[in-house]
Amino acid sequence: MAKGFYISKTLGILGIVLGIAAVCTIIALSVVYAQEKNKNAENSAEAPTSPTTTTTATTVATTLDQSKPWNRYRLPKALVPDSYLVKLRPYLTPNENGLYIFKGSSTVRFMCNEPTNVIIIHSKKLNYTKTNGHMVVLRGVGGSQAPEIERTELVEVTEYLVVHLKNSLNRGSMYEMDTVFEGELADDLAGFYRSEYMDGNVKKVLATTQMQSADARKSFPCFDEPAMKARFNITLIHPNNLTALSNMLPKGPSVPFPEDPTWNITEFHSTPVMSTYLLAYIISEFTSVETMAPNGVLIRIWARPSATMEGHGKYALNVTGHILNFFAEHYNTSYPLEKSDQIALPDFNAGAMENWGLVTYRENSLLFDPQSSSSSNKERVVTVIAHELAHQWFGNLVTVAWWNDLWLNEGFASYVEYLGADKAEPNWNLKDLIVPNDVYRVMAVDALASSHPLSTPAQEVNTPAQISEMFDSISYSKGASVLRMLSSFLTEELFKKGLASYLQTFAYKSTTYLDLWEHLQKAVDSQKTIELPDSVRAIMDRWILQMGFPVITVNSKTGDISQEHFLLDGDSNVTRSSKFGYLWIVHITSLRNDGPQKDFWLKDVAKTQDNLFKTGNGDWVLLNVNVTGYYLVNYDEDNWRKIQAQLQTNLLAIPVINRAQIIHDAFDLASARRIPVTLALNNTLFLVKEREYMPWQAALSSLSYFKLMFDRSEVYSFMQKYMKKQVTPLFYHFGNITNDWNERPENLMDQYNEVNAISTACSNGLPECERLVSNLFSQWMKDPNNNPIHPNLRSTVYCNAIAQGGVAEWDFAWDQFQKATLVNEADKLRAALACSKEVWILNRYLSYTLNPKYIRKQDATSTIISISSNVVGQTLAWDFIQSNWKKLFEDYGGGSFSFSNLIQGVTRRFSSEYELQQLEQFKKNNMDTGFGSATRALEQALEKTKANIKWVKENKEAVYSWFKDNSK
């Protein structure tokens, strides 16, 4: 699944100086970012009832008696599913009670592995039609006899349908169980749900699904755990003017439904053996563009008919074949299905979902309009497609046995998405973007004492809420970072060899991460070129079983090199012990003035010495070349000065990623009080000569923390003067190479840095920039049907123009937002509307987030975060959250991954004792309501607020003096 809470590149760049982006020092957005990333909003409505169903006894287990298997969240191992026959009929108009419902029937065939007198199967918010007084009908298969049913019940807390039997099922026998049921086709973005959108003035309704992680049970009764794989035979009954899609192709043309000829029946081929969370079925009027790949796979891109007609699916269609072919070669395993459908949904809580053969996306993650979409929108599309298609093998063909190893699934896809996207767009240098997007983003969270290891013991992950908490930035971005590091020191070819062996061995099965380590070790053992200091498992255990990462410290005078667990707050108390003592086996690459050096392994010791790191008078040494390692680097003061001198005289002597690293690492080290904050600030002086994106991005990301801490104090005036001084040459550079902003740079990274130049220059008061955005926006206001602003520049121009303007500019943008037919354009406007400096406008905008007619449910939390990122909106948004937490929690569901982002987003400026008290009181006041997937984020927010208070007290005076001295 792609990260759910997505900030576009241009919005992210813009937000660094205007507050929308993630903070890359102490504060960071979680991936599910989300990501994305913790899963689906739950609807608080009760399951519907109708005259045809019988209300059944429901057990509410307030105090769970763990001796009863139905009170445990994990399924017993006694029964294993073989196959399902599922027939569903969703009604896309409300019934007499005003509810949208679906009706269904299911037959599950299962094997009994251990004798048991109880059948426990997942069921959530379903009402069952009774037969002979029971909710199920049970029979034996192949001559076996089924015992009589004593009673059936629904256990609400653990989400089970429980069948109590008079005698036991027999080991080795197969059984079938039938159910007839009804559920609500709610608009809660979970399970089988409805999505609504406007086509002109006409409201359209479609039925779609989101099963991961624990909502297939909301669609039909099933053994809803990833290792409980089975074959699924899906039949959909639907209005005959709509199209039905599922994981597989239909067996043949749809046929009329005998009971009502205005409905059709579509029966699909049986799926391969697969997990419930990967099921999908959709009924809509959507249309597609399609092509047949050279390997015979049918590729289709589905969207609203108007979007298809306008060609918004063509880019996705063009890149999908390249990416599928790349992964088939990368994995040395053919794509397992006949077709690859991808569909853009108006209402979708995640960024995308890798359902096997029918991948679902937010519209902004699949559709691209060359007339209105920016380069970052295009990058978003190709990387999310690559992420989801990577899962078709890694996750779908081979699946993690339980959610505690989610990091392997999502971390892997988050790493190879860059490889797949790079194959589709080889001139974009996309592989480099993993450093700012994933490595640095997650380090901000992983450097906290409240972080957690990648792999969590299975017994600690049981409830749906605990599963949702796994979908965080550690799983996605740290997973990606350490797997990239592993691939780097093994070499990509060796990594691919072990990976192919793993996939071929475990196809259609479930695994743990240890199985992957075993196959990578076999690849290592099969050759002599790459020698490791220890086994793959021994090396990687230290990176996945203990939280955090090391800071590597070098003394260039002596050649001493040491490692230590890096914490942003060195005084914080690490309560989580590690059997490795927070030491790692670290692969270290390095560079000197005269070129690269041989690799070095720091082998599970705190300190050692090597002449690789000892320098002469004029020489400098630099570690972690191209940031392939997941660690920070600190040097003695003399080596820092030599690096700074090199950057001032000839910055090209240092690779561009390492120029970004020098800035990033120094600011993190300063936050942890390992170096003076002024040393980190001195590392930004060379930016006056820098034209590349990544160093500027690292600086703006790091300095965004200074903005958050100081934009309510006198420090900010001199900070703005310094930033204006540094960015002015960059602004003029892009003005020159773009023919006075009328053309776009050719290179993607230059296009991103052009946005950096404008957003930084405008937000720090460069008059030429303010005139540029004001003139462009006023031109558009005069002629609303002809937008003169290039899609790449729209986010920053919209935001700055609205910030400089008043109610006229805001109302115009709101009107354009409501009229926007392309979600990428709507997203840009929605974020920019949060840039107003008028309190009453921002308060009104906050109120809109609770009204789905104004702001879609999937966008509510990110809109509140955008408002809170505006210094004027910070207090307003926090007050709004405090006042409306219960309603937000109930309406949007505590399981939604966006709740952790919401807490992180609205608290990122907190840096006073008063704000800490407010946060503690908020926690106390809402204990009864709860925090769901935001529980961990709330603890992190408390920790970060305390760290912020301390940091401001220690650094405010020095920072004030430095900006004052260097802004002249």
* Residues involved in catalysis: 388
> What are the Cα distances from residue 955, in Å, to 25, 677, 678, 913?
14, 7, 9, 16
With b for 16 or more beta-carbon neighbours within 10 A and e for fewer, the 251-265 pattern comes to eeebeebeeeeebbb
Q: How far apart are CA 332 and CA 399, in angstroms?
A: 18
224 SS3 class: coil
Q: Is the peptide bond preceding residue 36 cis, with omega within 30 degrees of 0?
A: yes
Which residues, 6+ apart, have CB-to-CB distance to 241 below 8 Å?
285
Element (H, E) at 587: strand 585-588
Q: How far apart are CA 632 and CA 584, in angstroms?
A: 13
Beta carbons of 632 and 549 less than 8 angstroms apart? yes
Which residues, 6+ apart, have CB-to-CB distance to 756 below 8 Å?
13, 16, 693, 696, 697, 700, 730
> Residue 108: left if φ>0, alpha if ψ -120 to 50, beta else—which one?
beta
- Starting at the edge strand that comes first in sequence, how are the strands of the sheet with 595-596 ordered? 595-596, 590-592, 621-623
Q: How far apart are CA 642 and CA 68, in angstroms?
A: 67
**Identity at 172, one-letter amino acid code:** G
Please give the angle made by the CA atoms of 939, 943 and 949, to the nearest 5 degrees.
145
> Residue 142: left if φ>0, alpha if ψ -120 to 50, beta else—which one?
left
236 SS3 class: strand
Which candidate, 598, 610, 490, 593, places its Cα nearest to that of 552? 610
Which candidate, 331, 313, 395, 381, places its Cα nearest to that of 352? 381
Q: Is the peptide bond preceding residue 213 cis, with omega within 30 degrees of 0?
A: yes
Only one residue has tokens 């405008």, namely 762
Q: Which two tokens stand for residue 748?
A: 């993607």
Q: What is the signed CA dihedral for 564, 566, 571, 573, rounded to 10 degrees?
A: -90
Only one residue has tokens 């005998």, namely 258
Only one residue has tokens 């106390």, namely 924
Beta carbons of 102 and 91 less than 8 angstroms apart? yes
Q: How far apart are CA 548 and CA 447, in angstroms?
A: 6
Q: How far apart are CA 276 and CA 567, in angstroms?
A: 39
